[in-house]
Amino acid sequence: MRDFDEWLSKFRASISSYDYYIDFEKVVKNVEEIKVELNILNSLIGSKNIEEEFEAIVKKYPETLKCVPLLLAVRGNEIYAQDEDGAFLYNFKTMNYDVEQYKVFMRKTGLFDMIANHLVNNLVDYALGIETGLDSNGRKNRGGHQMEDLVEKYIVAAGFKKNVNYFKEMYLKDIEAKWNIDLSALSNQGKAAKRFDFVIKTDKMIYGIETNFYGGGGSKLNETARSYKMLSQESDTIDGFTFVWVTDGIGWKSARGNLRETFEVMKHVYCIDDLEHEVMNKIFV
């Protein structure tokens, strides 16, 4: 019998890898795509007649406008703005107003002031900084896949081959069709479109695997523990199918009660420490 408190004590604060923080390759690529246009706009830095010079640039090089959203840390080609003069949806890929209106935009957003008064010395460097900041927002997405990526490494290390005997992001209906097994007990008689992070197929068993990592607490953890407890109990009624849950993160320490309940009734719930001790070689038979 495993001891819950000892098991929980091995949960980690983070699983962040070196490339979790900033994807510099993507940052540089995004800026390179508009580097020429940014350098054209660099001629406006310190300008004494920035509005007239901006107008001349836009008329000669209208493609420079596509840089503007990034200078405001905005993704996309359109920006909405309104004031007492009305509401405007500016398109920075294809001009939908005259140059005068774009000058209003540059003036009222403060971009003219920033450029003319040397608040930045180089728009390419500034854009790199903006892109770096925007990319930090992508950490949530990268973090969401970190646990899956980590678990997959151990699946591969255990000798399984992708799309041969292990599969990623597989729906119940696809599992049923591929191996002719009835999983309606897990899908509320076909009403729920359940998907597993991984599915492993051995000669004797089909394993549905869920993975997650919680670095912080919250009500979601209690619901996760309850739902996986139910999923495990439902899986126990199906011959030839086993549910496996791999989770970790110190966020669980704030929801230890619900996790303990699931741990006590669920045979196959594991943490990263278990993976490091080659538990996968013991589970999948």
Tell which of 101, 136, 171 closes a domain: 136
pLDDT at 52: 97
**Following DSSP, what letter does each residue of 206-273 receive, concatenated?**
EEEEEEEE-SS--HHHHHHHHHHHHHHHHHTTSTTEEEEEEEE-GGGGGGHHHHHHHHHH-S-EE-HH
**pLDDT score of 199 more than 60:** yes
Q: How far is CA 245 from the centre of its chain?
A: 21
Check whether residue 89 and residue 157 sit in a common domain: no
Check whether residue 37 and residue 9 sit in a common domain: no
Report residue 208 as tokens: 């549905």
The mean of the pLDDT values for the chain is: 93
Which pLDDT band, with edges at 50, 70 and 90, does 265 fall under? very high
Q: How far is CA 282 from the centre of its chain?
A: 31
Using DSSP, state whether 210 is helix, strand or coil: strand
Classify residue 49 by burial, with Cβ atoms within 10 Å: 0-12, 13-18, 19+.
exposed
User: Domain range for residue 99?
Assistant: 33-136
* Amino acid, single-letter form, for residue 76: G
Q: Which of 59-68, 144-153, 172-181, 200-209 shows the lowest mean pLDDT across its residues?
A: 144-153
Read off the pLDDT of each residue in 256-279 and give the average, rounded to a whole number: 95
Residue 80 falls within a domain, yes or no? yes
Using DSSP, state whether 49 is helix, strand or coil: coil
Highest mean pLDDT among 14-28, 60-74, 215-229: 60-74
Read off the pLDDT of each residue in 15-42 and give the average, rounded to a whole number: 93
Tell which of 136, 160, 182 closes a domain: 136
Check whether residue 149 and residue 278 sit in a common domain: yes
Domains contained in the chain, number: 2
Model confidence over 169-198: pLDDT tens digits? Answer: 999 999 999 999 999 999 665 556 789 999
In CATH, what number is assigned to the domain containing residue 173?
3.40.91
pLDDT at 216: 86
Q: Are 50 and 115 in contact (CB under 8 A)?
A: yes
Model confidence over 99-156: pLDDT tens digits? Answer: 999 999 999 999 999 999 988 999 999 999 999 999 987 776 676 688 999 999 999 9
Q: Rounded CA gap, 2 and 173, in Å?
A: 34
Check whether residue 154 and residue 271 sit in a common domain: yes
Check whether residue 187 and residue 166 sit in a common domain: yes
Read off the pLDDT of each residue in 46-64 and give the average, rounded to a whole number: 97
Tell which of 136, 165, 188 closes a domain: 136
Check whether residue 208 and residue 233 sit in a common domain: yes
pLDDT at 122: 97
Report residue 211 as tokens: 């993975």
**pLDDT score of 70 more than 90:** yes
